[in-house]
Structure 1
Amino acid sequence: MNASQIAGPAALLPHGLAGEGLGYGRELIEWVRFPALGDERGSLVALEGMKSVPFPIKRVYYLFATKEGVARGFHAHINLRQVAICVTGSCRMVLDDGCRREEVLLRSPVQGVLLREMVWREMHDFSPDCVLLVLASEHYDESDYIRNYQDFLALREQMNPMNQTGGM
C-alpha cells in the first residue's frame, strides 16, 4: 500500500478518529496475560474474544517450523489488531510505531503481546520448536497490509494528530 493511494487518514481508522488507537501516548509493548488452569494432569489456557483477548477473534493462525535464520513479518496493518503468543519455544519480535522501535522476547504460553493497528512488526530468532499463535481481530484482507516500511512511515506521518489542522 502506498500512502498516496489513501483517500484520507481518518477514513482508514477505526471509528474514523484521527489518532485514536494509533498508539500515540501508549506503550508500544502491551502484554496480555492468560490465566493457566490445571491440576496434576496438566495445564490449559482458554482464549476468548472480548474476555481474555481485547477484541472479537475473527481469525487464528500459527507459524511453525520456521527455518533457522529466517525472519518473518516486515509489515503493518491499517486496522487489524492481533495478539501473538508463543505457545512453545521462543522468538524475538520487533515493534515500531514510526517514532519508537522496541524488542520483546516471546517465550510463554500464558502471555502474548498486543499488536495494535499501524505498528510495524518483525519476527526474528525463532527457536527450532517455536509455535507462534496469532489471534486477529479481522479476516484476512490484503488491502489492510502495508508491506513497505517507507510507505508505513509516510502514512504514520500523515495520520499523526499533531499534523492535523483545523477545528480544535
Structure 2
Amino acid sequence: MQTENFEPLLVKNSGYVFLKKVCDQNDGTLIIAEAQKDIPFDLKRVYYINNLKNFISVRGCHAHKTLRQVIFCIAGSFTLTLDDGATRQKILMNHDNAGIILGQMLWHEMSEFASGTVLLVFASDYYDEADYIRNYEEFTEICRKGGGK
C-alpha cells in the first residue's frame, strides 16, 4: 500500500502502520501484524470495539501520558480526530490494513461510525487508569507547558 494515497498526518506522535495483506479471491483475505516488525512496540494488550449501537457516539476523548497504541478499522469506517495540543486533524479510517499510531500525549476521538464498524487496537502496556488524561482542558494545559513532547 502506498503512503501517497493517504492524507499526511500533521499531528505529533503519530504515523501510519501498513500491515501485509494477502488476498485470495476464493478464500478471503489474510492481514498480518507482528510486534516489533509491523507494530512499533512490544504488545501488552489488544482490544476491539464492535456492536456500536449509537452511530452518533463519540468514543475515546482522552490522551495517554505514556501508552502507545495503533488503531485500525477492520470493518466499516469511522472518523478519527487527533489533537497534539497545537494541531487538530480528522482522518477517515476505512482501510482494514492501514492503522494510525496513537503516541504519547495525543488526544484522540472516534466518531461518525458506519454500520458494522469494528476497531482493533494494539497497546504497548496493560490498562492503567493513572495514564489517562480524560479532561481536554487539562490536556491542553499540559501541552502548553511543554508536556506534549
Larger Rg: 1
Superposition TM-score tier, normalisation by shorter sequence: 0.7 to 0.9
- Identify unmatched segments of 5+ residues in structure 1: 1-25, 163-168
Provide the C-alpha distance between the structure 1 equivalents of 2:101 and 2:120, rounded to a whole number of angstroms: 12
Q: What is aligned with 2:78?
A: 91
Report the TM-score when normalising by structure 2: 0.86
**Alignment counterpart, residue 19 of structure 2, candidates 22, 26, 34:** 34
Q: What is aligned with 2:104?
A: 117
In the alignment, residue 46 of structure 1 is paired with which amino acid?
A: I
1:107, distance to aligned residue in structure 2 (A): 0.6
1:161, distance to aligned residue in structure 2 (A): 8.6
Provide the C-alpha distance between the structure 2 equivalents of 1:118 and 1:160, rounded to a whole number of angstroms: 8
Report the TM-score when normalising by structure 1: 0.77
**Alignment counterpart, residue 38 of structure 2, candidates 52, 64, 76:** 52
Pairing 1:153–2:119 present: no
- Identity score, percent: 39
Is the 8 Å Cα contact of residues 84 and 148 (structure 2) preserved in structure 1?
Answer: no
Provide the C-alpha distance between the structure 2 equivalents of 1:92 and 1:71, rounded to a whole number of angstroms: 10
Q: What is aligned with 2:90?
A: 103
- Identify unmatched segments of 5+ residues in structure 2: 1-8
Provide the C-alpha distance between the structure 2 equivalents of 1:160 and 1:52, rounded to a whole number of angstroms: 28
Provide the C-alpha distance between the structure 2 equivalents of 1:57 and 1:103, rounded to a whole number of angstroms: 26
Higher-strand-fraction structure: 2
SS in 2 for 1:155: helix
Q: Deviations over 1:40-78 (max 9, x none)?
A: 412111111101111111101111122221110110000
1:38, distance to aligned residue in structure 2 (A): 3.6
